[in-house]
Amino acid sequence: MKILTVGSINIDMVVKTQRLPETGETILSKSYHVIPGGKGANQAVAVSRMGAQSYLAGRVGDDVFGSMVLRNLKKEKVNVKHVLTDRKAPTGTAFITVDEKGDNTIVVAGGANMRCCREDVDGVEYLLKDTGMVLLQFEIPISTISSVVSMAEKYRVPVLLDPGPARKCPLSILRRVAFLSPNETETEALTGIRVSSLKTAKKAAQKLLEMGVRNVVMKLGANGALLASSKTGRHMEHIGGLKVRAVDSTAAGDAFTGAFAVAFLETGNIYRAAGYANYVGAMTVTKIGAQTSIPTRKQVDDFISTGHSARMVKWS
**Which residues are identified as catalytic?**
254
Q: Are the beta carbons of 65 and 159 closer than 8 angstroms?
A: no
The answer to whether the Cα torsion of 165, 167, 172, 175 is positive or negative is: positive
| Cα distance between residue 257 and residue 30, in whole Å | 30
Q: Are the beta carbons of 57 and 20 closer than 8 angstroms?
A: no
| Cα distance between residue 181 and residue 208, in whole Å | 11
Instruction: Please provide residue 197's backbone torsions phi and psi, each rounded to the nearest 5 degrees.
Output: -160, 170
| Cα distance between residue 208 and residue 211, in whole Å | 5
C-alpha separations of 280 from 14, 130, 137, 209, 259 in Å? 21, 26, 19, 26, 7
| Cα distance between residue 150 and residue 130, in whole Å | 16
| Cα distance between residue 171 and residue 211, in whole Å | 7
Establish whether the linkage from the previous residue to 90 is cis, with ω within 30° of 0.
no
